[in-house]
Amino acid sequence: MKRNALLIAMIVLTALTMQAQPRRNGGGKWEGLARTPQMGWSSWNRFQGNISEDIIKGIADAMVETGLRDAGYVYINIDDCWHGQRDADGFIQVDPAKFPSGMKALADYMHSKNLKLGIYSDAGTRTCAGMPGSLGHEYQDALQYARWEVDYLKYDWCNANNINPRGAYALMRDALRASGRPIFFSMCEWGTNQPWEWAADVGHSWRTTGDITSRFAGTPRQRGWGQTVLSIIDQNGPLRKYAGPNHWNDPDMLEVGNGMSENEDRAHFTMWCMMAAPLILGNDLRNMSKATCDILMNRDMIAIDQDTLGVQGLRYKDLEGLQCWFKPLAGGDWAFTILNSTEQDITFNLNWQDFNLTDDEVSHLSTNFDTIVYRVYNLWSHKQEGKTSKQNKVERKLVVKGHDVIAYRLTKAN
């Protein structure tokens, strides 16, 4: 009993000491961890609860061997179902059957490969899969993650009845800060309580929608209460003014390589990059097709997502099944994407003068196609396709395939 009392007193004292220190940006989250949206991999979309130490190590090996790590994907995140029970002092343990070497050994393995380890918990009494949640153990869990040298926490919102989300997430934020280890804080509250309006000083990213499924449009495949790619775009797109460096809208993990068509995978990946979304892979990296690998490692497209200006793209115009998106970039460049939300190929007559716009909501930058000439670079063919024109004329006829995109980077021609 004395040991438990002493341990609790030490935790509380550490927390109070850390909380008394000056905080930046009005909050206590770790700064400098999310200048651009996070990139990595998570176990849930492909494996759900069927995870193990060998699977996670195999994914880490594949991350390095395929070149994904060098393309920017550095987090290996273990989602729900890694948990064992709490010990006599209340500290959470790993499932010894799934992770016999322990979480610290797994973190060491990741760090030896210049990767980072992510973990999962829940603000409620139980996780979504029924494992022990963090309610009432926030400081203990954060301290345990720090001992294990974890780099990332995804914090879910199941079994959180009668809990205030602002208080619950702020509490875990403070616990992570008090642990003494910089840990990325990914809030997974599904957008139920509009976290974009209050969480900029709490988390590094926050979910804006329900769970994604590997279906581009129509009725989602049965997997809980999942949503399609297009429905998530519709929900996340209007929230652009809330996103920026160190606080990102998160429309959920990627489903590229999990059963959609190549066109749909390419469109899905492109739109996440246009929306400055976290790029968290959800497929089995050990068994990827060349097409999947080419999509996930398109560095031209990744550069749009990771652009240092940090502005989420603007859905500027809808044209009978086509969505026209612009994203201002650092240095005066723009990304321009045409998304075909239908299953039919659509021919589009491109006239740059139809897209003279000013981003009044966020960046206050203008395209100025009537006064500026841009070089046009195709982000998927990786070829230059001429220049824009100051004249009011049809530049070219584009065929946008069903559930696909055409995406360009526009750079001033001078």
Active site residues: 156, 211
- Residue type for 47, please? F
CA distance 124 to 104: 25
Pairing of strands 39-42, 322-328: unpaired
| Token output for 81 | 């179902």
365 Cβ contact partners less than 8 Å away, ≥ 6 residues apart: 328, 332, 358, 359
> Which contacts qualify for 98-107: CB closer than 8 Å, 24 or more apart?
98/51, 98/52, 98/53, 99/52, 99/53, 100/53, 101/53, 102/148, 103/148, 103/150, 104/147, 104/148, 104/149, 106/53, 106/56, 106/57, 107/148, 107/149, 107/150, 107/151
Residues 184, 41: Cα–Cα separation, whole Å: 14
Q: How many CA atoms lie within 13 A of 263 on its CB side?
A: 16
Alpha carbons within 13 A on the beta-carbon side of 278? 32
Half-sphere exposure of 121 (CA within 13 A, CB side): 29
